[in-house]
Structure 1
């Protein structure tokens, strides 16, 4: 579809690239964000990319709605998608895949007639795109997982999901940056600190990044500072 500019208030526009999740949109969105920053300069207040859209907030003291829209349309007219090589950083996240920290590993394995090890291998075999951050600071919505791994959210969310938990919901995957309630299916855990308000940048992952999950052993997980407490016993 042709990208369209939609009103989002007195000082913002939403640029819609698609009406459905499509990995191909990511390279267009990445290129648009890059070019939009260059064109709007100091008049750009905030830019929030997601799976299919980009929210662009501008300074109304510097730009009128008519001028800001015209600038966005000019970016779209000459937009060329980023290539995979320039579409974002490649981030490797170490993951300990184990049923003690990823209880739904068994559920997905049984459904497919696989072993938990095969589920882990299938999850780690894909290079994912970070489409958006949300839910809690540092929570990266990534996709798309192998259709065989796609699993609906839990009917009853957990009251506490341990920090670093690697999870799947439908064809999305993510890593919980902090202890929080959550209804995604847990399949492993990373030892990395994904969000730290005292660090710059605060988040490990940003929209546009490409992510590879790298399987590691329990021993290596602990060596890297991971907490091996099983999900049922996990504490904040």
Structure 2
């Protein structure tokens, strides 16, 4: 993902059968993601007749609609008009959510490997990971799993060559220029550098996921030796 350079994305409408449309912005950048989240919010606050749902991705919006009430072409036309009216400068920025993390050791089994891949020391990896306020780009892969970023280029590392069969809940991991947090025990191939004691997903809570697209996040190291 590119940092926001201020260049407006180009939008493309991809029909997905008769009752869905993928509205995609290119390139995938912070500006594109902000547009997607704002567009989803606009559709939620002002429902459009015939549209059933709008699910934001990192750089795209999946819209489901009733083909007997509207068409993909009509939906795309409405989305373009909404985009023209969006004022991203007025986008609300909520409080920063602090995520405490125990880095390294059993909580972060890949921290040493990430340090070797980036040319940093483990302490420098932690310092770089905690140095920025990030954006929650999308919730995906599993309920409550946040894709957060983008990371500084120096922290860009690949996924593991062989995914783990089980990654503990709360694991904080890096892959492909992003950082994520495993909400429950799941299989996964991201490189795990730490673990947080926070619960990312409570299925019976009024707001099941701790984080939502557009939220801001900062990571904070727990005292050394504290493993949640």
TM-score range, shorter chain: 0.7 to 0.9
- From 23, 32, 56, the counterpart of 1:15: 23
Show the 5 A alignment for 1:1-236: 1-18=9-26, 20-41=27-48, 43-60=50-67, 62-82=69-89, 86-87=92-93, 90-217=96-223, 226=228
Please report how far the alpha carbon of residue 64 of structure 1 lies from its aligned counterpart in structure 2 after TM superposition: 4.4
2: distance between equivalents of 1:174 and 1:163?
A: 12
State the Cα deviation string for residues 188-226 of structure 1 (Å, max 9, x = none).
00001111211121111112222111212257x56xxx3
Report the equivalent of 1:229.
none
State the Cα deviation string for residues 89-141 of structure 1 (Å, max 9, x = none).
53221111123211211112234443312211100112222222221111111
1: distance between equivalents of 2:72 and 2:118?
A: 52
Name the CA shift for 1:177/1:95 in 2 (closer, same or farther; >3 Å): same
Q: TM-score, normalised by structure 1?
A: 0.83
1: distance between equivalents of 2:134 and 2:212?
A: 12
2: distance between equivalents of 1:49 and 1:71?
A: 16
State the Cα deviation string for residues 45-104 of structure 1 (Å, max 9, x = none).
222111111111124455444543332232123233255x61555322111112321121
Higher helix share: 1
Q: TM-score, normalised by structure 2?
A: 0.85
Please report how far the alpha carbon of residue 13 of structure 1 lies from its aligned counterpart in structure 2 after TM superposition: 1.8
* Stretch moving more, 108-117 or 6-15: 108-117
Report the equivalent of 2:6.
none
Residues 57, 138 of structure 2: 8 Å contact kept: yes
Name the CA shift for 1:53/1:160 in 2 (closer, same or farther; >3 Å): same
Please report how far the alpha carbon of residue 37 of structure 1 lies from its aligned counterpart in structure 2 after TM superposition: 2.5
Unaligned runs of 5+ in 2: 1-8
Q: Quote the RMSD (CA, aligned, Å).
A: 2.3
* Stretch moving more, 71-80 or 196-205: 71-80
Residues 49, 132 of structure 1: 8 Å contact kept: yes
* Stretch moving more, 169-178 or 45-54: 45-54
Residues 147, 179 of structure 2: 8 Å contact kept: yes
